[in-house]
Amino acid sequence: MTEQKTGVMRSAIDEARFGIRVARNHALTAETLEETLAFCREQAIDMLIARTPSQAIRFVQQLEALGFQLMDTLVYYRRDLTRTPIPEPQDAALIRPVRSGEEAAVRAIAAQAFQGYYGHYHADPRLDQAACDAAYVSWAERSCLDRSVADEVLVAELDGQLVGFATLRRNTSTQGECPLIGVVPSAQRRGIYRSFVVHAMQWCLENGMNETVVSTQITNLAVQKVWVRLGFEPMQFYYTFHKWFT
């Protein structure tokens, strides 16, 4: 990938998945818009995925006028791990690090948990829906295999079967993130998601970080209820747009 000063870059993973030329800019601002569009023209990009902070409302209206289409709203919450104690996990399943050789099981969990999940890929009618499902499955698998994708992966074991996974990542020396969690439908509503978030907080603290960050689509109310109960607070919201050039 060649990243410009403006934050825009080609996305090899998206290009392979959808068979089109894709660019991403995860920090699009009014200042970087012109250079981002010029990059897309020079590279003959079919689709640009652009993310921008939700408070820049005049800029968002400018993007709408240029044909950028809203695909999702991402909400980020953070938990200060030092201000109040981490709640008890109350585990309904055994939560432990993934073992080598369990990648296929994690893939299978992701395929079940994220089937038809509504992120920015699924929201775009021009993208193949099966390829959109595959995006989460491949992210889960790469998290097990590639340390640049995730620093740790936890799994939930219930009656000898793996029924859930959670990926963990160190963002900075003080901040950890829990980017992706899935629980198979047959094991949902037993508190396994809540357990994963508590274990993620413990992992951050044990590894010298003092805050945990989580994010999801604004429509995912189930997980936001869990975060609020565990002491997370809203931090920053982003809009995700797709701009098609072809």
Ligand X SMILES: CC(C)(COP(=O)(O)OP(=O)(O)OC[C@H]1O[C@@H](n2cnc3c(N)ncnc32)[C@H](O)[C@@H]1OP(=O)(O)O)[C@@H](O)C(=O)NCCC(=O)NCCS
The Cβ of residue 33 has, within 10 Å, a number of other Cβ atoms equal to: 20
Instruction: Return the DSSP state at 57.
Output: H
- Provide the minimum distance between the beta carbon of 136 and ligand X in the complex, in angstroms, as a whole number: 8
Amino acid at 221: L
- Provide the minimum distance between the beta carbon of 189 and ligand X in the complex, in angstroms, as a whole number: 5
Instruction: Return the DSSP state at 87.
Output: P
What's the farthest any 2 CA atoms get from each other in the chain?
55
Q: SS3 for 37?
A: helix
- Kindly state whether residue 183 participates in binding ligand X, applying the rule CB under 6 A: yes
54-113 residues near ligand X, rule: CB under 6 A: 113
Helix 33-42 vs helix 57-65: crossing angle, to nearest 10: 30
- Provide the minimum distance between the beta carbon of 109 and ligand X in the complex, in angstroms, as a whole number: 8
- Provide the minimum distance between the beta carbon of 226 and ligand X in the complex, in angstroms, as a whole number: 5
Kind and range of the H or E run holding 195? helix 192-206
Closer Cβ to ligand X, 15 or 91, answer by number: 91
Task: Pick the binder of ligand X from 165, 193, 227, 238 (CB under 6 A).
Answer: 193
Closer Cβ to ligand X, 51 or 243, answer by number: 51
- Kindly state whether residue 190 participates in binding ligand X, applying the rule CB under 6 A: yes
Task: Pick the binder of ligand X from 12, 38, 57, 222 (CB under 6 A).
Answer: 222
Instruction: Return the DSSP state at 186.
Output: G
Contacts with ligand X, residue ranges (CB under 6 A)? 113-114, 117, 180-183, 188-194, 216, 220, 222-223, 225-226
